[in-house]
Structure 1
């Protein structure tokens, strides 16, 4: 079993789609560790709809290719078309960040995902969720990477969010472990 991390994002009915995605993740992989949910402005375009973003961690013995196929199939169920431009609104965006300490190209997927160290909406929730875990390439803790991160023009802020019986408070930095819904 490997610790898998994924980032979730949505700016089309984000509360609904994030909840449905968490349901699907729980049903497929069991207990989840969930970061706070952050609202952020879109990167690369602007249409007036902000994103909700979070990071989820879980244990799995599936290969990166199987995990990616599962995630892309769920995106399609939520209306994403394969030819959707990178910088566009989306009901659901699931990005595989890490699978254990795998590095390089595995099953045509580059691990760890480069966006970890590029985008605040990925790094901040990851650093809060797994502060002592180390980035598989640079061997630096996510907390240290976040402390050294320059936001530049990126803006994000935590929001209150509920999923089932889970209350993810914008005020509490502690990650939330969901073992049952």
Structure 2
């Protein structure tokens, strides 16, 4: 069994689609560790709605290829099609971040995912969820990577999110901005 982390994103009815994704993950893989849910301004998108983002961790004995195929099938079930452009609105985006300590190309998938160290909407929830866990390539704890992270123009803030009878996330009193860090 390996610890698997995935990032979730949605900017089409994000409350609904993040909930549906969490349902599918828990129904398939069992107990989940879930970060707070963050709203973020789109990175690389023009004239797009804000995203909801989260990171989820769970244990699985599935291969990276099996995990990736499952995630892509779920995205397709909620309207994502192969011809959609990279920066188009989406009901659901599931990205495989890590599978245990795998590093390199595994089943044709680059692991760990480069976005971990590039985007606040991935690194902040990951660092909060698994602060002492070490990045598979550089062996630096996620909390340390987050402390060193330069926000630039990226903005994100935690939102209230209730799922399966419990609060997963509650809003920050003030959003994170480049000036606040």
Deviation, 1:171, is 5.2
**Aligned position for 1:96:** 96
Q: Deviations over 1:103-149 (max 9, x none)?
A: 00010000000000000000000000000000000110000000000
Give aligned pairs, total.
Answer: 172
SS of equivalent to 1:102: coil
Q: CA deviation at 1:166?
A: 2.1
Identify the residue that residue 75 of structure 2 maps to in structure 1: 75
Is there any run of 5+ residues in structure 1 with no aligned partner, and where? 173-181
- The residue that corresponds to 2:177 in the other structure is none
> Match of 1:19, SS?
helix
- Please state whether the residue corresponding to 1:76 is helix, strand or coil: helix
Equivalent in the alignment of 1:64 = 64
Q: Give the TM-score taking structure 2 as reference length.
A: 0.93
For the pair 1:165 / 2:174, whether they are aligned, the reply is: no
After TM superposition, the structure 1 = structure 2 runs for residues 15-54 of structure 1, keeping only pairs within 5 Å, are 15-54=15-54
Q: How far off is 1:94 after superposition?
A: 0.0
Match of 1:5 in 2: 5
Q: CA deviation at 1:88?
A: 1.2
Q: CA RMSD in A?
A: 1.0
Secondary structure at the counterpart of residue 20 of structure 2: helix
Question: In 1, distance between residues paired with 2:37 and 2:44?
Answer: 21
Runs of 4+ aligned residues of structure 1 deviating over 6 Å after TM superposition are none
